[in-house]
Structure 1
């Protein structure tokens, strides 16, 4: 590619969290009607939320789950035990309100939007479906680049715009989920190059594979990795990534540009967050990591981002299910700052 044909992608302006605000916010939390440090990790989360919204107050009442969906050409190589048609089936299940993500979102009072990033089928109109399709699934990354550089740039831009749009419509929290048969394979390739890490350590069972299936999956992923030596984030995305992963990364950047917390779900969304942070390191401070997935490779991704997740429940479904379970913790941390009385007021009887 010549210099004249480079894709047009401009990252949104993101302000890094200001370390100068930490002492004041921490003092405010320590001054609440409780022993300092008695709420453990929730106090650290409250500090992060306070810094994100400074000089305003943290809020968490309105949360939205964005489930980005797309198909992967790598499925042609047998990286999944399920056919690509399952992606369409699950999208329709989300829209019908019958998936695990819907149940967990309802339990946590979270609105859902499903984003067609690149499903390999035309989907019917639905009020909860955002049509942001770039193309009908990616190409087979074991044989050619998954997408063009311009398609990768366009997917990042659309993901950012979707997150910004939800925030402008009142979202205090943006939570991320995904659906795409074969996307653990693409995520393993991204993690391998962006962490970086040994490729075999990044490859897990995904939706479930027996020994024969895992051998086939490893072979396909190694074939893709051998095809390109890309290491620059945009190049890695276009060579190996999924369209939903690109839009997830864009959504991280969009939420950060609006100074809102973004809840990162499991392995695939963490790979997307890693991509976003490699593109714009300032976005790291806006990410809340929901849980530690049982999928192999997630610990590597978390370590690459120096991230300690809130929950460890052995989940590996995706869809944003772990993020939904973390939403009440984020809301509680915000209310620690805004709703809990100061100890001095308690002692003075000013309640």
Structure 2
């Protein structure tokens, strides 16, 4: 065990509490101290980035909502009216919205980052979601927003998304990269009824069969991904390069992280899985990472809301490590 790990464990164990009594907060404190290579970690300028894009497959009836909801919800983000706005504001988190490929021309707005690659991906029943050139642009754009658009000292960033049809992309990515049947990876998304769910499974099974030869992570992202998922993946990889804490939201954000982890396995060391989504397959995807999510609140909204709600708990882990007395400093007898 490295020296910093031994010192962190010692510092955590000697706080005025029984061993392990702060449960997952202790694991979080240990992880964050290890990431930052310090016994006194800090969370600086927390940020959440919400990537938005449209999906060609939405026209195949895989979502309960029409495609125009993507741009309407982005306008809601920019107007401050969405759940992510409320929770980010509550917890002092900076919020950025990235147009990765929405089928709409937005007016300029201080919170909006224009990283549009195209106005939505292709219909997967007919062709790959994007070209290899579009994929490379997405990965570069995602890295670019980390480099350019975060506060200079930001060391913790969460990832959210908006895109009608994107649970279908996430399910396909999971099915191929985790080697699971498509049925085990598909959920109700925005609220499909039983008949619509069966239609979604049939559509995605057809898509998977059409591209059965696709296995390599980048090719999986190019074939099945959305522009928002691909840009999130690029942003996560760059955040890891900069040794930031990466807050992973729900099912779609986890699918972007899944690709990133296949490209750069060590990224798992910097990941904090904020919650387990109520979307059907998210628990199985977390099991693939061996991840222990912070929260289980039956949420399935996306937008980065899981990150925003979990952030105060992450902050509590750092605060107890820094500020709580030890047995020695408090003059309390240890066992």
**Segment of structure 1 superposing worse, 176-185 or 54-63:** 54-63
The reply to whether residue 220 of structure 1 matches residue 193 of structure 2 is no
Of 251, 258, 263, which aligns to 1:274? 258
How far the C-alpha of 1:24 sits from its partner, in A, is 1.9
1:328 matched to which residue of 2? 312
**Segment of structure 1 superposing worse, 88-97 or 332-341:** 332-341
Separation of aligned partners in 2, 1:329 and 1:235: 36
Unaligned runs of 5+ in 2: none
Task: Work out whether residues 74 and 141 of structure 1, in 8 Å CA contact, stay in contact via their aligned partners in 2.
Answer: yes
Task: Work out whether residues 112 and 128 of structure 1, in 8 Å CA contact, stay in contact via their aligned partners in 2.
Answer: yes
Task: Work out whether residues 55 and 165 of structure 2, in 8 Å CA contact, stay in contact via their aligned partners in 1.
Answer: yes
Unaligned runs of 5+ in 1: 1-17
The reply to whether residue 183 of structure 1 matches residue 127 of structure 2 is no
Of 303, 306, 317, which aligns to 1:319? 303
Q: TM-score, normalised by structure 1?
A: 0.91
Of 133, 137, 155, which aligns to 1:172? 155
Aligned positions of 1:280-319 closer than 5 A: 280-319=264-303
1:79 matched to which residue of 2? 62
Name the count of aligned residue pairs.
332
How far the C-alpha of 1:69 sits from its partner, in A, is 0.3
Determine helix, strand or coil for the equivalent of 2:331. helix
Q: TM-score, normalised by structure 2?
A: 0.95
* C-alpha distance 271-56 of structure 1, shift in aligned 2 (>3 A): same
- Residue by residue over 1:268-289, the C-alpha shift from the partner in whole angstroms, topping out at 9 and shown as x without a partner, is 1111111110110011111100
How far the C-alpha of 1:295 sits from its partner, in A, is 0.5
Aligned positions of 1:1-351 closer than 5 A: 21-55=4-38, 57-167=40-150, 169-229=152-212, 230-347=214-331
How far the C-alpha of 1:337 sits from its partner, in A, is 2.2
How far the C-alpha of 1:20 sits from its partner, in A, is 5.4
Q: What RMSD in Å do the two structures reach over aligned CA positions?
A: 1.7
